Amino acid sequence: MLLAILPTIVLGYFIYKKDIIEKEPINLLAKLFFIGVLLTIPAAFLENFLIGIIDLNIKNIVLKAFVLSFFCIALIEEGYKYLFSYLIGYKNRNFNHIYDSIVYCVFLSLGFATLENILYVLEYGKSTAILRAVTSVPAHVFYGISMGYYMGIAKYYEKKFNKFKELKNKMLSFISPIIIHGIFDFLLLTENEIMITIFFIFVFFMYIIAYFQIKKHSKVMTMLE
């Protein structure tokens, strides 16, 4: 169990510590985290329902992997995350820097990833815990960073009364994590050695991009007031 939740503790602490301009309230972050945990349940039910339909109707392995990855798993999970990150974080009075929305989206994503990880580890054991600690759990952080970044830009343009750019970045906040998540799952679900190699390269670059995104935006003083 400790192996299942340790990645969440480490990543959550790192994201929170990097919020150097103004720390977000612990109660708000806890609320986002536990909502993320709860969202795992409806997402799992809907995914399993759609997976059953897809399994019956699509026989080609690559096409099935593509549909499952982008239109089943990624769309449902990131859709739920976006909806509640927006409802709870976007209108919150504490949201006054671009990095704030990254923190909101990451903490909700970590809640989702934590319960998901616990279930996987209980079923498949220690080796799964170690592999997911450096791939799947950080991946949810990557999705949250992408979602939160564009959500922060959207908030900036809302304050500037630029409706077009506000809407554009809200759409990117929704679409970008779906694309990243879809690619992540597609490379795994194809069950192809070449794709698995590409998968680890993809994850490596996601680490680098995420690190520099956090480093850059945690120091940006752009006010959203």
Report yes or no on 223 lying in a domain: no
Higher pLDDT, 163 or 55: 163
Q: Which residues contact 12 (CB under 8 A, 6 or more apart)?
A: 33, 106, 107, 110
| Average pLDDT for the chain | 91
Residue count (the chain): 225
Residue 8, in any domain of the structure: yes
Q: Give the pLDDT score at 91.
A: 86
For residue 112, tell me if it sits in a domain.
Answer: yes
Give the tokens for residue 177.
């994590």
**What is the structure's pLDDT at 221?**
61
Q: How far apart are CA 21 and CA 99, in angstroms?
A: 9
pLDDT in tens, 145-171: 999 999 999 999 998 999 999 999 999
Q: Is residue 224, in this structure, part of any structural domain at all?
A: no
The better pLDDT of the pair 98, 129 is held by 98
> Is residue 209's pLDDT more than 80?
yes
Asked if residue 29 has pLDDT above 60, the reply is yes
Residue 219: band (very low, low, confident or very high) from pLDDT cuts 50, 70, 90: confident
Dist. CA 92–CA 7, nearest whole Å: 27
| pLDDT at position 224 | 53
How large is the average pLDDT for residues 57-83? 94
Q: Is residue 222 assigned to a domain?
A: no
Q: Is residue 110 part of a domain?
A: yes
pLDDT value of position 20: 86
Phi, psi of 97 (to 5 degrees): -140, 155
pTM of the entire predicted model: 0.92
- What φ, ψ does residue 223 adopt, rounded to 5°? -85, 145
Average pLDDT over residues 172-179: 98
Q: Does residue 121 form part of some domain?
A: yes
* Average confidence (pLDDT) over 206-212: 94
When divided into structural domains, the chain yields a total of 1
Using only C-alpha atoms, what is the Rg of the chain? 17
Residue 90 falls inside a structural domain = yes
Look up the domain containing 207 and give its range.
2-217
